[in-house]
Amino acid sequence: MSTLVGQARRHGFLVVLVLIFAFFSLVTPHFASGANLVAMLHTMAPVVLMSAGMALVVLAGKLDISIGSIAFLSSTFTVLLMNDLGVHPVIAFAAALVAGALLGALNGFIVVVLGINPLIATLGTMIAFRGVALQLTGAILIPLPESVRALGNLSIGPVFVDILIVALLVLVIDQVHRRTVFGRQVNAIGNGEEVAERIGIPVRKRLFLAFVLSGLLASIGGLIALVQVGSISAYLGRGMEFTAVAVVVVGGISLFGGRGNILPGVVLGALTFEMIENGLNQMSANPYAYRLVTGAIIFVAMYVDALKSGRLQSVRRVALGSS
């Protein structure tokens, strides 16, 4: 019996994922088709990559809610360089990556050097970065050059190239987290900064690097979303930071830091939300239903996370003690 309980806890999320897939496969005619599955992977590619960057920061016990704005601002630089200055697309894309890393570095500086709470710091930069991008674009839709727009549908056989790119990048990030000193130190910092400092871990450097990587991956995710849509608008990256937080939590990475894995967690988390949205769309459900279901899933995931971390038990003990 104890073995069955342990297996249920370990694989409970996967069971829920299978049930969601089975439900929509039964109630919609095309949900389980190969074309629809590839389309879901194509759509969720930017989310997966940006969530992987967010995961590195969360594993270190911090939070970066500016990633959607970083994606928007770095993509804005790319579009303006190509359209207004005639810069070659490769150079324009490289400039976006540099911009993303620098914006992530700015977040790291504010949090690590200035000691500002990461939620407050990245909330401020989220607003500021998006404001700069809106100013640069005039908040209007700006299309990409025709030659670049064609990249959005580039595929190898039935699989879109962006799916392969994201799969490779996320695999590399996962291996960095699992097998390098940096990854192990990030987990140690998430489990307790003071303890990590006592054992000689360069906490400030590792936190700074986590924010830089988060910004870099946000810019890559933004470029993928940009190419998929074929133009930049004020909607690019909007709300992506909260989607990434939801993906991270549902994927089993603790918001308290120090626990969880990028693979398969981030991919399964993103797939959960994409299947729900895709399935509800095929059912022609009320558009507000997605928000309701998503909110419920996030609440359950955070409740389970709190149970695993022992936070709820601590609250109960305090409450019982005070009474």
- Which parts of the chain sit beneath pLDDT 70? 1-13, 308-323
Q: Which of 149, 103, 155, 156 is nearest to 126 (CA)?
A: 103
The length of the chain in residues reads: 323
Please give the pLDDT value at position 308.
67
Q: What would the pLDDT profile of 305-315 be if each residue is shown by its tens digit?
A: 777 665 544 43
What ranges in the chain are assigned the alpha helix state H? 2-27, 34-59, 67-85, 89-108, 118-137, 146-149, 161-179, 181-190, 193-198, 203-229, 240-250, 265-282, 287-309, 311-322
The answer to whether 226 and 235 have CB atoms below 8 angstroms apart is no
Q: How far apart are CA 51 and CA 122, in angstroms?
A: 15
264 cis-preceded (ω within 30 degrees of 0): yes
Ramachandran sector of residue 24 (left: φ over 0; alpha: ψ -120 to 50; beta: rest):
alpha
The answer to whether 55 and 111 have CB atoms below 8 angstroms apart is no
Query: What is the H or E stretch that residue 143 is in?
Result: strand 142-143
The answer to whether 66 and 126 have CB atoms below 8 angstroms apart is yes
Q: What would the pLDDT profile of 136-166 be if each residue is shown by its tens digit?
A: 999 899 999 888 888 888 889 889 999 999 9
Place of tokens 């909260």: 242
> How many Cα neighbours within 13 Å face the side chain of 149?
10
Q: Which domains does the chain have, with CATH numbers?
A: 37-291 (1.10.3470)
Please give the pLDDT value at position 1.
42
The answer to whether 52 and 263 have CB atoms below 8 angstroms apart is no
Contacts of 61 (CB under 8 A, 6+ apart): 189, 190, 191, 193, 256, 257, 258
The answer to whether 244 and 67 have CB atoms below 8 angstroms apart is yes
Q: Which of 219, 190, 205 is nearest to 53 (CA)?
A: 219
Share of the chain above pLDDT 70, in %: 90
- pTM higher than 0.95 for the full model? no
